[in-house]
Amino acid sequence: MSHDTAHALHPPTTTGLDNRKLAIWTFIGSEVMFFSALIGTYLVYKGKSVVGPFPHEEWTSPTGEHFEHIFEIPLVTFGTAVLLFSSFFVVLALAGAQRGNRKMLIGWLSATVVAGLFFVGMQVYEFSHFMDKGLGYTTNLFGSTFYTLTGFHGAHVTVGLIWLGTLLILSLRGKIPPEKALNLELAALYWHFVDVVWIVIFPVVYLMK
């Protein structure tokens, strides 16, 4: 993120691609491996927990304690939809930035941040709710892998929110003119990636039985 005033003096790059954009794509390529390892581990350990609670089935412990199944699909489906819409919102915000339409930029960027906040809020609620249902981080393999995978995704969403929030403050001060729309585009690329990861996590973790 560069915000110096004298800008647009880019000497052409070898490929014509913007350096920072290429760097974000490179970083995303690396992140794919990060999430692949997390998701792969979740799959390897799926159904391997020796004690409950379990994601989709009820469980009664040897001492007679009863546990409901953990996942509740409606809430997370709604959260998923909101996160996906936030990707759409940030595209509109970028279009606003590129056209110099400040209202469009600020409006849709705010909507993106609100949607992201909603998703993180949903996750916080979900985590505490699952804890109440008896699934701690140390309870079983399901708990360890589920909280680690979705927790790291949530941390990525949070970083994206800080980034987009910073850009929102800048745009409120009029510091994202069209020639600096790339600053938003970089954040948007990252944001889309975080959403795409969730598109994989949602069916693999929540829907697959």
Partner 1 sequence: MATSAVEHAAPDAPAAHSKTGVWSWITTVDHKRIGIMYGVSAFVFFMFGGLEALLLRIQLGSADNTFLSPDVYNQLFTMHGTTMIFLGVMPLSAMFFNFMIPLQIGARDVVFPRLNSFSFWMFLVGAIVLNVSFLFNAAPNAGWFGYANLTETQYSPGLNTDFWVIGLMALGVASLAAAVNFFVTIINMRAPGMRLLRMPMFVWMSFITQVLLLLAFPIITVALIFLMADRYFGANFFQPDANGDPMLWQHLFWIFGHPEVYILILPPFGIVSEILPVFSRKPLFGYAAMVFSGAFIAVLGFGVWSHHMFATGMGPIADASFGLLTLLIAIPTGVKIFNWIGTIWGGSLQMKTPMYFALGFIAMFIIGGLSGIMHAAVPADLQQTDTYFVVAHFHYVLFGGSIFALLAGAYYWMPKMFGFMLNERIGKIQFWLMFIGFNITFFPMHFLGLHGMPRRVYTYPEGLGFEFWNLIETAGSMLLGFSFLVFIWNIWLSKRAGVAAPADPWDGATLEWSIPSPPQEFNFAEIPTVHARDPLWEQKRSQGRPLPEPPRVSGEGIHLPNPSVKPLITALGIGVFFTGFLLGSPWPIPASLTINLPVVLIGFAMTAYGILSWAFEPA
Q: Interface with partner 1 by CB under 8 A: which residues?
A: 1-7, 9-11, 13-15, 17, 19-20, 22-23, 26-27, 29-31, 33-34, 37-38, 41, 44-45, 48-51, 137-138, 140-141, 143-145, 148, 152, 166
We find the least distance from the C-beta atom of residue 88 to partner 1, in angstroms, to be 26
How far is Cα 148 from Cα 145, in angstroms, rounded to an integer?
5
We find the least distance from the C-beta atom of residue 20 to partner 1, in angstroms, to be 6
Task: Tell me whether residue 3 or residue 66 sits nearer to partner 1 (CB atom).
Answer: 3
Residue 60 main-chain phi, psi, to 5 deg: -115, 125
We find the least distance from the C-beta atom of residue 31 to partner 1, in angstroms, to be 7
Q: Find how far residue 198's CA is from the centre of its chain.
A: 6
Bridge partners, residue 66, by sequence? 60
Task: Tell me whether residue 20 or residue 102 sits nearer to partner 1 (CB atom).
Answer: 20
Task: Tell me whether residue 33 or residue 103 sits nearer to partner 1 (CB atom).
Answer: 33
b/e map 64-102, b = 16+ CB within 10 Å? eeebeebbeeeebeebbebbbebbebbbbbbebbbeebe
Comparing CA positions, the residue from 64, 38, 61 lying closest to residue 139 is 61
* CA dihedral of 93, 83, 162, 101, whole degrees rounded to 10: 10
Task: Tell me whether residue 43 or residue 81 sits nearer to partner 1 (CB atom).
Answer: 43
| 8-state DSSP, 205 | I
Task: Tell me whether residue 5 or residue 103 sits nearer to partner 1 (CB atom).
Answer: 5
We find the least distance from the C-beta atom of residue 202 to partner 1, in angstroms, to be 20
We find the least distance from the C-beta atom of residue 30 to partner 1, in angstroms, to be 4
By three-state DSSP, how is residue 136 classified?
A: coil
